[in-house]
Amino acid sequence: MCNLYRMLSNQEAIRAITRAMIDSTGNLEPIVEMWPDRMAPIVRNTPGGRELANVRWGLPSSSQALFQAATKRADSLRKKGKDVDFQELLKMEPDGGTTNVRNVESRHWKRWHGVEFRCVVPFTAFAEPDPAGKPEGGRTPNAWFAANPDCPLMFFAGFWVPQWQSVRKIKEGLVTADLYGFLTTEPNSIVAPIHEKAMPVILSNEHEIETWLTAPWEEARALQRPLPNDKLVRLPVELEVA
């Protein structure tokens, strides 16, 4: 599951490839490390046209997951002899967000299949933890992947959700924000030795970007597949640090 990526390209290149007509990002700086729950650029469909915008990473978690978390919290409070307003507790249950989506046919994700909720996420490299490279007593290093050692601009296929109300962090309280996340699929043979369960869904050309952003769902859904092996490399260690 990809929870770290890099975006070192520029907004002019992003707009040119995606045909974004609106740019709301201001001065878009290179992003050496993009982590969950931070703001990052996406290209999304809007009523005013295709837009390059900064959006918070992490889609709404399922109501079932939040219900289970709130139930656990309520049980813990009751054991301490405290009164519990469960509905209020559920409303304020923290949701750090779901960064990656795999089962697009679940009821939770089906509501966002339409083109108005699809987006593409620009990146130049993505990372997966590499347990095999962990030194004794040290931290697990990351393996980085890109189209080639020059790390050209690429795009994840994603969804975005407008103006979702939730508690992202307890210290923030209830907030309303636009959110995004991207799809995963089974890994190709480049990623599988590091992460055997999944890799991001990567759109490899402008035609695939257009299909994801504009096509009927069944046609767009076919893009949820591993990137061909010859279109991805693991970066050498000396290129993993930007």
Q: Tell me, yes or no, whether 103 and 70 share the same domain.
A: no
- 233 within domain boundaries: yes
182 and 111 within one domain:
yes
Do 115 and 37 share a domain, yes or no?
A: yes
Q: Do the domain assignments include residue 121?
A: yes
Q: Is residue 185 domain-shared with residue 86, that is, in the same domain?
A: no
* Same-domain check for residues 54 and 65: no
Residues of the domain holding 84:
61-94
Instruction: Give tens-digit pLDDT for 82-91.
Output: 766 666 655 6
Number of domains in the chain: 2
Q: Do residues 139 and 177 share a domain?
A: yes
Whether 174 maps to a domain, the answer reads yes
pLDDT of residue 75: 63
Which pLDDT value is given to residue 139?
A: 85
pLDDT at 239: 58
DSSP per residue over 28-56, as a string? Answer: ---EEEE-TTSEEEEEEEETTEEEEEEEE
Which among 117, 187, 192, 124 has a CA at the least distance from the CA of 155? 124
The parts of the chain modelled with pLDDT lower than 70 are 1, 63-70, 73-75, 77, 83-93, 136, 238-242
**What's the DSSP call for residue 238?**
G
Instruction: State the DSSP code for 240.
Output: S
Distance from C-alpha of 134 to C-alpha of 80, rounded to nearest angstrom:
41
Return the ∠ at Cα 118 (arms to 43 and 55), rounded to 5°. Answer: 45
Nearest to 223 by CA among 124, 116, 104, 126: 104
Flag whether 12 is in a domain: no
Number of other CB atoms surrounding residue 131 within 10 Å: 11
Question: Same structural domain for residues 54 and 125?
Answer: yes
**Amino acid 238: pLDDT:** 54
Give the pairing of strands 125-129 and 142-146: antiparallel
Domain final position from 94, 119, 137: 94
Q: How far apart are CA 109 and CA 184, in angstroms?
A: 13
pLDDT digits (tens, 9 = 90+) for 93-138: 677 789 999 999 999 999 999 999 999 999 999 999 998 877 767 7
